[in-house]
Amino acid sequence: MQLYRWRGSERNFGDELNGLLWPRLLPNYFDDDATVLFLGIGSVLDARHPVGVVKLVAGAGYGGYESTPALDARWVIHWVRGPRTARILGLPITYGLGDPAILLPVPPADGGRAVGFMPHFESLGCGAWAAAARAAGAMLIDPRDDPGAIIAAIGTCRLLLSEAMHGAIVADAMRVPWVALRPLVQVHRAKWHDWADTLGLAVRFQPLPPSSLVERLHASRLAATHAGRRLLAGARPMLDGVAQWRFVERAARALAVASRAEPQLSDATTLDRSRSRMLERLDALRRDPFRPALLPCTGPAIPPTTGD
């Protein structure tokens, strides 16, 4: 069985958590046999995977990055990230138990004083967030860094501002209050609600402006076209110098405002319940990994919130 994790040109915190979590929870499960893929943390429950292989799902979610999969006998689903993923795939919403990242053996926060800021890895790649964070007095946490170092950095924070969903998920598990920053690219937003629904949270996004002209173009519809990508690649050196200080100033001001917003944190009892439900499914998976979940259709404890 092969542990699947998405990886682009650079590492991304949420996807890299697979390598920390699953070998601990399922020792000796994984090898290079790509005829069975294990889909855990990430918005990877979609049609990107080969039709002829078995896909064993333990907490993955649908993110809208690819088309929805045609579920058949080669999809063995133990649970999915949240009720929105379940509804999209035509599953009972009771399959939406939570994001597996809350099962990480993370230490409790150490009562630090820092205000941390984790942008989405794409934003960091095309924006000027290091400068904006400095101007706002926030500690930049790079989602492309080593995931263990990122977890340690979150633990030093009294507050985390996060455009990256798994920054907020791990902060919540560590009991570090967090403020959600509305992702600049719209497709990254819905998955937040999928996760939050399982914890009874209505995500309160704070606005986040682009920190550079390149980033603004990246977040636009233009960037989704071939012509737009060519424009960004060819024009970036020039665009980076166009009124850059105004973008940084506006972005820093937004971070400062977000740091004064009321933070969020899930109820501890609800968090423990979500963990317990996933661990129960994990026990069943260990006993018989290729038997899909048979969960009662009683509905989740938490009604889903509205989208953004």
Neighbours of 223 (CB within 10 A): 18
Give the whole-number percent of the chain exceeding pLDDT 90.
78
Neighbours of 260 (CB within 10 A): 10
Q: Identify whether the C-beta of residue 308 lies closer than 8 Å to the C-beta of residue 205.
A: yes
Left (φ > 0), alpha (ψ -120 to 50) or beta: where does 291 sit?
A: beta
Per the prediction, the chain carries an average pLDDT of 90
* pLDDT value at residue 235: 54
* pLDDT value at residue 302: 43
Residue 301 has pLDDT above 50, yes or no: no
Residue 86 has pLDDT above 50, yes or no: yes
Distance CA 38, CA 268 (A): 29
* pLDDT value at residue 305: 45
How many domains does one find in the chain?
Answer: 2
Dig out the tokens for 121 from the structure.
Answer: 């890895």
Residue 294 lies in a domain: no
Neighbours of 287 (CB within 10 A): 8
Instruction: List for the chain the helix, strand, coil content (%; round to 5).
Output: 40, 10, 45
Tell me how many degrees the CA angle 214-134-252 measures, rounded to the nearest 5. 55
Residue 308 lies in a domain: no
Residues 50 and 80 in one domain: yes
Residues 73 and 189 in one domain: no
Choose the weakest-confidence range: 107-121, 128-142, 261-275. Answer: 107-121
Which amino acid, 222?
L
Residues 8 and 45 in one domain: yes
Q: Strands of 139-140's sheet, edge to edge? A: 139-140, 114-118, 157-162, 178-180
Distance CA 298, CA 221 (A): 40
- Which domain, by its residues, includes 67? 2-103+271-287
Choose the weakest-confidence range: 44-48, 233-237, 241-245, 275-279. Answer: 233-237
Residues 249 and 139 in one domain: yes
Residue 169 lies in a domain: yes
pTM, entire model: 0.90
Residue 195 lies in a domain: yes
Residues 232 and 141 in one domain: yes
* pLDDT value at residue 123: 93
Residue 305 lies in a domain: no
Residues 128 and 70 in one domain: no
Residue 234 lies in a domain: yes
Residues 119 and 19 in one domain: no
User: 51-66 burial, b if ≥16 CB within 10 A, otherwise e?
Assistant: eeebbbbbbbbbbbee
Residues 250 and 162 in one domain: yes
Residues 88 and 217 in one domain: no
Residues 40 and 170 in one domain: no
Residues 83 and 207 in one domain: no
Distance CA 96, CA 269 (A): 18
Residues 193 and 236 in one domain: yes
Residue 33 lies in a domain: yes
Residue 31 lies in a domain: yes
Tell me how many degrees the CA angle 234-238-240 measures, rounded to the nearest 5. 105
